[in-house]
A and B are shown apart, each in its own frame.
Chain A
Amino acid sequence: NAGVTQTPKFQVLKTGQSMTLQCAQDMNHNSMYWYRQDPGMGLRLIYYSASEGTTDKGEVPNGYNVSRLNKREFSLRLESAAPSQTSVYFCASKDRNRNSPLHFGNGTRLTVT
Chain B
Amino acid sequence: AQKVTQAQTEISVVEKEDVTLDCVYETRDTTYYLFWYKQPPSGELVFLIRRNSFDEQNEISGRYSWNFQKSTSSFNFTITASQVVDSAVYFCALSEPLNAGGTSYGKLTFGQGTILTVHP
**Chain A contact residues, CB within 8 Å of chain B:** 31, 33, 35, 40-45, 48, 50-51, 56, 58, 88, 90, 92, 94, 96, 98-99, 101-104, 106-107
B: number of interface residues (CB 8 Å) = 26
List, in ascending order, chain B residues with CB within 8 A of A107's CB. Answer: 43-44
The closest CB in chain A to the CB of B97 belongs to: A98
Asked if B16 CB lies within 8 Å of chain A CBs, one says: no
Are B107 and A58 in contact, with the CB atoms below 8 A? Answer: yes
Nearest to B102 among chain A residues (CB) is A98
B64 at the interface (CB under 8 A from A): no
Nearest A residue (CB) for B45: A104
The 4 residue pairs across chains A and B that have the minimum distance between CB atoms: A42-B110, A104-B45, A101-B47, A43-B110
Q: Which of B4, B35, B93, B105 is within 8 Å of A98, CB to CB?
A: B105
**Which residue of B37, B50, B109, B111 contacts A99 across the interface (Cβ within 8 Å)?**
B50
Do B9 and A40 have beta carbons less than 8 Å apart? yes
A33, B105: Cα distance in complex, Å: 12
Which residue of chain B lies nearest to A40 when distances are taken between CB atoms in the complex? Answer: B112
- Bound-state CA distance A66–B108 (Å) is 18
Q: Inside 8 A of A56's CB, which chain B residues have their CB?
A: 98
Query: Of the candidates A33, A35, A96, A104, which one forms a contact with B104 in the assembled complex, judged by CB atoms under 8 Å apart?
Result: A96
Q: How far is the CA of A4 from the CA of B119 in the complex (A)?
A: 32
